[in-house]
Amino acid sequence: MRLMAYGRNILLLSVIFALSSLATNLILPLWPIYISLLGASMTELGYVFSISYAIAAVLQIPSGMISDKYGRKRLHVIGTLVGVFPPLLYTFAKSWSDLIPWVILAGISMGLYAPIRWSIVADDSTVQTRAMAYGWTNVAWLLGPTVAPLLGGVMADVYGIQTPFLWCFALTGLTFPLTLLLPETRGKSSFNLAHTTVDEPNSPTLLSVILIFTLINVIQGIGIGIFSPITPNFVQKRFSLDLTLVGLLYAVGFGLASVVVQVPGGRWAGRYSRKKILITTFALSAPFFSVFALSQNIIELFVFMFLLNVIFNFSWPAFQGLLMDLATPASWVLMNGISATTFWAGMTMGSAVSGILWDTLGMFIPYHVSALTIFLSAVPALFLKEPSRSMQG
């Protein structure tokens, strides 16, 4: 099905996701390197990441609750506006500690708008179309990682490492007026019509669903939180890559790898057991988090990062689709808020220990710990109970 078939809101959201992603990914692989250049140790680097994640985690559920009461649009607009300024303010920092106030501001922005954007996708889709709608919006988000990291790396090598941050500021600013065009979806006819003709799935109790997804998110968040902050520094230290090659690694190994599996992942999530997709992809991707660190040359580095993300991100449409299937429309924002909160909580813990593991046990150990946590995240998924195929459509 084509993207236009999912409606104006999904199309507009996809544009917002794409622009926001381009902005974010211009600086994503450079951000840890920039923090280190400002004098941070690996432990301090992890703390900077954990502060932002912690703020985002704290705000996810309140954001959902407030949007239920006052509407999605208002809070989405505020969160987006707040997020415009941190990239510019980062460039004025003289030491890593100067970044902390602006990192907190960025965390506030993420905490406000993130659960709302994904909930709007659920508002404007049905059980039958939801997995594919999430697949398309995720493709829009992942367009940024396919091109922006390389562009950011080239900018940093040619014009200085602060240049991508200025472009990030400009692109983030462009997303703000688009959020003003996005209509309110909570409580509107578009929301009601999308769900009044579909029976609610015969799901387990909401509490058990929350518990299982919480365990998955926290465990995975720890693994990703360990992996993410240290990797740009790791590849520079191990292979002496310039910033352009670091950007290319992320563009190919994360961006391209993640994009190519989203639509197939959405199709599989619509046709086959979403629970089995989660378990299989979590278990199969886990070893590559460890093997990545054992790469002997640049080619292996690219190949292992690509395979890691191809397998791991194949699960995303199934994960989000199943989460929404096992909840009622009235609880979607709450469920997205809880899911995001628990994932960011795991990221907070993982990033906080990533630098400590590096500084105390060596730069390889964090990757082995990350692999173990990703594998263990498959265990809670064994206890999920899917709606019947007729309910899923």
The closest of 31, 13, 126 to 73, measured between CA atoms, is 13
192 in a structural domain: yes
Both tokens of residue 347?
Answer: 């990221």
Alpha helices in the chain (DSSP H): 8-27, 31-37, 42-70, 72-82, 86-90, 100-123, 130-159, 163-181, 189-195, 206-239, 243-250, 257-271, 274-291, 298-313, 316-325, 332-361, 365-376, 378-381, 389-392
141 in a structural domain: yes
- Judged on CB neighbours under 10 Å (0-12, 13-18, 19+), 202 is exposed
How far is the CA of 330 from the CAs of 17, 115, 200, 211, in angstroms? 24, 14, 11, 18
114 in a structural domain: yes
129 in a structural domain: yes
Backbone angles phi, psi at 362, to 5 degrees: 105, 165
Q: Is the dihedral of CA 27, 266, 281, 276 positive or negative?
A: positive
Question: What was the pLDDT predicted at 48?
Answer: 95
Cβ(36)–Cβ(358) below 8 Å: no
381 in a structural domain: yes
Domain count, the chain: 1
CA distance 134 to 315: 12
How far is the CA of 207 from the CAs of 2, 276, 326, 329, 335, in angstroms? 36, 21, 11, 16, 11
Question: Could you give the 3-state DSSP secondary structure of residue 161?
Answer: coil
Cβ(243)–Cβ(30) below 8 Å: yes
Question: What was the pLDDT predicted at 142?
Answer: 78
CATH number at residue 308: 1.20.1250.20
Count of residues for the chain? 393
4 in a structural domain: no
317 in a structural domain: yes
1 in a structural domain: no
Domain extent, residue 365, equals 9-392
Question: For residue 293, what is the DSSP state?
Answer: G
CA distance 82 to 109: 5
Digit-by-digit pLDDT tens for the chain (393 residues) are 454 444 677 788 888 999 999 999 999 999 999 999 999 999 999 999 999 899 988 887 787 777 777 777 888 889 999 999 999 999 999 999 999 999 999 999 988 888 787 777 767 666 666 666 776 777 788 789 999 999 999 999 999 999 999 999 999 999 999 888 877 766 553 444 444 444 444 444 778 888 999 999 999 999 999 999 999 999 999 999 999 999 999 999 998 998 888 778 878 877 888 899 999 999 999 999 999 999 999 999 999 999 999 999 899 888 878 887 787 766 766 777 788 889 989 999 999 999 999 999 999 999 999 999 999 999 999 998 876 654 444
pTM: 0.85
Question: What was the pLDDT predicted at 200?
Answer: 45
Contacts of 23 (CB under 8 A, 6+ apart): 87, 144, 148, 167, 168, 169, 170, 171, 172, 175
CA distance 179 to 201: 32
